Amino acid sequence: MSDLYEVAIIGSGPAGMSAAGQAAKRGMAHVLLEKTDHLSDTIYKYQAGKFVMATPSNLALRAGGYEEGVSAGMQFDEGTRENILGIWNQHCGVNDPTIPVVEGEIESWGVNVKLNAEVTKIEGDKGDFTITLKSGEVLKAKTIILAIGTQGNPNKLRCPGADHPMITSQLDDPADHYDKHITVVGTGDAGIENALGLAEPALGNTVTILNRGKDFAKAKQRNADWLTEADADGKLKIRYGTSPAEVRDGEMVLETETGEETIPCDLIIARIGSQPPRGFIESMGVEFTSADRSAFPVLSPVFETTKAGIFVIGALAGYPLIKHCMNQGFDVIEYLASGESPKPADEPLLEEVFADLPGNKSVDYWLDVYQKNVSIFGGLSTLQMRELMLDSTCKAFGPGEVIFRRNEQGSSLFAIASGSVAVEVDPNDPSITVPIGEGSIFGEVGLISGRRRGSTIRAAEDTIVVELSRKAALKLISSSPEANDAVTRISIERQILQMFGSGLTPADIAPLVESAETVQVPAGKVVIQEGDEDKDLFILRLGSMLVEKDIGGRQIFLSYLPAGSFFGEMAVIDGSKRTATVKASVKSEVIKLDGEMFNALLDTKPQLRSKMLEVMEGRRQTNDFIESQKGDVGGALELYTKTAKFLSEQGIGEATDALLIDEKLCIGCDNCERACADAHEGLSRLDREAGKSFAHLHVPTSCRHCEHPHCMADCPPNAIRRGADGEVSINAETCIGCGNCKSFCPYGVIRMDPVPPKKPSLLEWLFFGKGPGPGEASYSWRKKNGDPDLAKKAIKCDMCAGIDGGPACVRACPTGAAIRVSPDKFLTFAKITEDVE
């Protein structure tokens, strides 16, 4: 058994590496344990040459500032992957032949690094932890700092030979492999993308992809389509109902439905998911904030977990940006060494957040006010509060000032720290208002449904609020069960009030709210079946629904329901059987209300009843009209149904504003693409030809501005926002080019490119032939004239935000082929069957 270390740091990413460097400087007995044979695996795995960003730019790097004169500290600034890793290697005295040595004076801190040291078990308590490595080696430490990131461990094949060297879970560049027999295991997106890349005919590989089942439920529809197409074209082979049975030198045994089969094999790509590190961490006795998959460990203000002596920092603590990671490594060591934590590095950032509030108070003062007054913040730790406020905006409003307006796009959540607001519930009469008081929240409907604000809200007195960005709000809901319950309850009540209009008070609907149930509905699932006799009323809280009816033996599309509508009212009110089928067009959430109770409410509110009857009548008329088309020659009804189905399969159902091209009008001039490029720094955000078509209606590869943008799922600097006009756009300043959004968008509309060089003007081109002319310049021209040091960043359609007149692609189409539509307006009989020519 070895000596007892003061601190063992596990994981050598920016967080762990910075902690180890600081420990070394402080002369603490330390060890840095790294699983792989190089430092900082997450960054090591970035694409070669990737330009790494140092955001947020206004956050000081702690590690670099410690004790002037003692040292310059651990370095980190924006630069290429190679440069950053090269510097860190020198800091830590690691010699990695795959990373070039960086010239210049770089200090080595004498960090005690142990590579190839995967920690598999941690036992014991503060002051005496026992760390077991995969090799069986055992170490002892008083304190543990966990900085293992969120990558987790890739799952292994479950068959003999699972440790064979030809198996890998990582594919950097498909072009590294040619003329090989390659088997890809796993049909999620990663596996499919790898298989397609390897099957590029130019590489000459023989690619087989194993699918345990018959479908591709885990992959995006697009990827699944491409894969089956590639199979049909003979580019690769999909083996259904097949799983690996054994891996041997140069071959692989497959278990098929008809028995075992052996195929030649030189490389196996296993993309069967990874095991998140949570289980490993919980096994040490560390608690998480909630059962939600995206929850983080519960931490004290000094990053200590619920298990005394174990600290968690970095991405695993919920801070994915490198600068935050490095600062935390520094802070934790300082705390351990001095017993006192340095003023948090994010203090200046928080000062900025609170800068607009009156009274010139300190950060701690405001944190305290918000935490005490706002009920949904009740369950949060100080650290969580700080993190939450970093992504938020705090503001004071005077009486009568507008906080947001009806029909404005907004998906953020507001909470009132002091004062109160007035909600203008009636669009026609602003004097009718409903108050919301101190401590409560508002804006939750926009957050949940992704739709526009339903009413204008003004401050009723001097009021101080906080606006949580969508990301911060969702993080709060997923990590705090109390906040989740509160938001759900309030949103159900408000949604019912908003939907069924004035004249109702919270007291009237209290029993209804009490009995309400939120139900998740996966895409395609039927909520109401035509002919059934159930009697519930539904409010669509999130997502969208398709209404269909059996007419003459065929399922005919009746209409599209956006979030915020209710359905099922006919059966409730007149007691009839369900007259149509309602099913989810995308993943949705509905609030189920008890029909009986609702009827009882109607009995006491004749005004409400007449309003419901009105809505019902309107819907009935639409249905009757569509039904009356069934004798129509030319099959308009059929066309309508099929087109609506096609469009909703292409994601128009979750779109707020999507580009369509009517190929009966498109002359293929690509003026739309050129206009887009010219309106946006010279890169087009749409690919007209790519994408699917039906009945000459083409859905090009271009952003749909989804109600709940998938691309926002995991953007480390939170650079993707929904803007005032509903556009989902990426902030080029803060984007770090990690490519997460690109892989999350199911429609493949995000591209990664550096800003191209400026082109000579149109007149110079017209008269002197200077430059590449209108539209996106060729790749070679950009490369030749561009700045090679510019980072690749994510770019996508921003709906031409800030450009007066709106979308350039639409305005630039000479024939009217290019249109941008929203599903609630376009998925109607009149629009789809319109004769445009």
Partner 1 sequence: MASVPGNRFKQDERRRNADHVSFLKHRRYRWLWIAVLLCLATGLGYALIDQEPRPNGGSWYGYTLGTIGLGLIVWLSLLGIRKRKITAGNWSLKAWTSAHVYLGLALIVVGTLHTGFQIGWNVHTLAYFLMLLVIISGIYGVIVYATLPTTLSNNRNEMTRGEMLEALTAIDRQLESAAQPLGRQQSDLVIRALEQDVFYGGAWGRLTGTYPGCATNRALGGFPEVAGGVDGASERVRSLLVKRAEQLAQIRRQLRIRALLEIWLFIHIPATIALLAALFAHVVSVFYYW
> Under the rule (CB under 6 A), what is the footprint of ligand FAD?
10-16, 33-36, 40-43, 46, 52-53, 55, 118-119, 147-149, 151, 314-316, 320-322, 325, 716, 736, 738-739
Residue 451 interacts with which of ligand HEM, ligand FAD, ligand SF4, none, CB < 5 to 8 Å by class: none
Residue 690 interacts with which of ligand FAD, partner 1, ligand HEM, none, CB < 5 to 8 Å by class: partner 1
Residue 709 interacts with which of partner 1, ligand SF4, ligand HEM, none, CB < 5 to 8 Å by class: ligand SF4
Which 631-670 residues touch ligand HEM, going by CB under 6 A? Answer: 669
Residue 794 found at the interface with ligand SF4 (CB under 6 A): no
Spatial CA neighbour of 227 closest among 201, 193, 254: 193
How far, CA to CA in Å, does 742 sit from each of 315, 543, 648?
Answer: 20, 22, 21
Residue nearer to ligand HEM on the CB measure, 93 or 773: 773
> How far, in Å, CA of 763 to CA of 136, rounded?
72
CB of 145: closest distance to ligand FAD in angstroms?
11
Binding site for partner 1 (CB under 8 A): 201-202, 204, 233, 235, 393, 395, 397, 401-405, 407-409, 412, 467, 657, 662-669, 671, 674-675, 678-679, 687, 689-693, 696, 698, 724-726, 762, 774, 803-808, 810-817, 819-822, 825-826, 831, 834, 836-837
Residue 23 CB-half CA count within 13 A: 28
> Would you say 726 and 658 are in contact if contact means Cβ atoms under 8 Å apart?
no
Rounded-to-10 torsion of CA 219, 223, 229, 235:
-100
Residue nearer to ligand HEM on the CB measure, 511 or 814: 814
Phi, psi of 50 (to 5 degrees): -60, 140
Residue nearer to ligand FAD on the CB measure, 81 or 494: 81
Burial of 4 (0-12, 13-18, 19+ CB in 10 A): middle
CB of 766: closest distance to ligand HEM in angstroms?
10
CB of 384: closest distance to ligand HEM in angstroms?
57
CB of 602: closest distance to partner 1 in angstroms?
33
CB of 742: closest distance to ligand SF4 in angstroms?
8
Residue nearer to ligand SF4 on the CB measure, 107 or 687: 687
Residue nearer to ligand SF4 on the CB measure, 336 or 797: 797
Spatial CA neighbour of 591 closest among 495, 659, 689, 487: 495
> How far, in Å, CA of 370 to CA of 376, rounded?
10
CB of 727: closest distance to ligand SF4 in angstroms?
8
CB of 808: closest distance to partner 1 in angstroms?
5
Spatial CA neighbour of 487 closest among 530, 524, 532, 440: 440
Binding window for ligand SF4 (CB under 6 A); candidates: 101-109, 200-208, 502-510, 813-821: 813-821
CB of 815: closest distance to ligand HEM in angstroms?
7
CB of 669: closest distance to ligand HEM in angstroms?
6
Residue nearer to ligand FAD on the CB measure, 316 or 777: 316
Residue 371 interacts with which of ligand HEM, ligand FAD, partner 1, none, CB < 5 to 8 Å by class: none
The CB-nearest residue to ligand HEM is 814
> How far, in Å, CA of 666 to CA of 679, rounded?
21
Residue nearer to ligand FAD on the CB measure, 207 or 736: 736
CB of 675: closest distance to ligand SF4 in angstroms?
6
Which x/- pattern over 660-699 shows residues binding ligand SF4 (rule: CB under 6 A)? -x----xxxxxxx--xx--xx----xx-x-----------
- Which listed residue (535, 705, 759, 782) binds ligand SF4 by CB under 6 A? 705
Helices within 656-792 (DSSP H only): 671-679, 740-744, 762-768, 779-785
Residue nearer to partner 1 on the CB measure, 112 or 671: 671
> How far, in Å, CA of 468 to CA of 478, rounded?
14
Residue 674 interacts with which of ligand HEM, ligand FAD, partner 1, none, CB < 5 to 8 Å by class: partner 1
Which x/- pattern over 741-780 shows residues binding ligand SF4 (rule: CB under 6 A)? ----x-x-xx------------------------------
For 172-193, the three-class secondary structure string (H helix, E strand, C coil) is: CCHHHCCCCEEEEECCCHHHHH
Residue 706 interacts with which of ligand HEM, partner 1, ligand SF4, none, CB < 5 to 8 Å by class: ligand SF4
> Would you say 787 and 757 are in contact if contact means Cβ atoms under 8 Å apart?
yes
Residue owning tokens 């203090």: 347
Which x/- pattern over 667-696 shows residues binding ligand HEM (rule: CB under 6 A)? --x---------------------------
> How far, in Å, CA of 11 to CA of 554, rounded?
59
Residue nearer to ligand SF4 on the CB measure, 697 or 745: 745
* Residue 726 falls in which region: left (phi positive, over 0), alpha (psi -120 to 50) or beta: left
Residue 506 found at the interface with ligand HEM (CB under 6 A): no
Spatial CA neighbour of 61 closest among 326, 383, 344, 280: 326
Residue nearer to ligand SF4 on the CB measure, 18 or 740: 740
Beta-carbon contacts of 258 under 8 Å, excluding residues fewer than 6 positions away, are none
> How far, in Å, CA of 491 to CA of 154, rounded?
39
The strand pair at 554-562 and 526-528 is best described as unpaired
> How far, in Å, CA of 788 to CA of 260, rounded?
52
Binding window for ligand SF4 (CB under 6 A); candidates: 179-187, 267-275, 443-451, 815-823: 815-823
> How far, in Å, CA of 111 to CA of 546, rounded?
61
Helices within 414-568 (DSSP H only): 444-449, 470-479, 481-500, 506-515
The strand pair at 413-418 and 441-442 is best described as antiparallel
Length of the chain counted residue by residue: 837
Residue 189 found at the interface with ligand SF4 (CB under 6 A): no
Beta-carbon contacts of 377 under 8 Å, excluding residues fewer than 6 positions away, are 370, 371, 385, 388, 415, 483
Which 708-737 residues touch ligand SF4, going by CB under 6 A? Answer: 709-711, 728
Residue 415 found at the interface with ligand SF4 (CB under 6 A): no
Residue 819 interacts with which of ligand SF4, ligand FAD, partner 1, none, CB < 5 to 8 Å by class: partner 1
What is the b/e burial string over 364-394, where b = at least 16 CB atoms within 10 angstroms of the residue's CB? eebbebbbebbbbbebbebbbbbbbbbbbeb
Residue 796 interacts with which of ligand SF4, partner 1, ligand HEM, none, CB < 5 to 8 Å by class: ligand SF4
CB of 14: closest distance to partner 1 in angstroms?
32
Residue 814 found at the interface with ligand HEM (CB under 6 A): yes
Residue nearer to ligand FAD on the CB measure, 280 or 370: 280
Residue 476 interacts with which of partner 1, ligand SF4, ligand FAD, none, CB < 5 to 8 Å by class: none
The strand pair at 544-551 and 554-562 is best described as antiparallel
**The pair of three-digit structure tokens given for residue 757, joined into one six-digit string:** 């060089």
Beta bridge partners of residue 248, listed in sequence order: 251
CB of 689: closest distance to ligand HEM in angstroms?
18
**The pair of three-digit structure tokens given for residue 726, joined into one six-digit string:** 């509903």
Phi, psi of 36 (to 5 degrees): -90, -175
> Would you say 565 and 538 are in contact if contact means Cβ atoms under 8 Å apart?
no
Which 602-661 residues touch ligand SF4, going by CB under 6 A? Answer: 659, 661
> Would you say 140 and 4 are in contact if contact means Cβ atoms under 8 Å apart?
yes
Sheet containing 581-584: give its strands across.
526-528, 581-584, 544-551, 554-562
Residues that bind ligand SF4 (CB under 6 A): 659, 661, 666-672, 675-676, 679-680, 685-686, 688, 702-706, 709-711, 728, 745, 747, 749-750, 796-800, 807-809, 812-813, 815, 817-818
Residues that bind ligand HEM (CB under 6 A): 669, 814
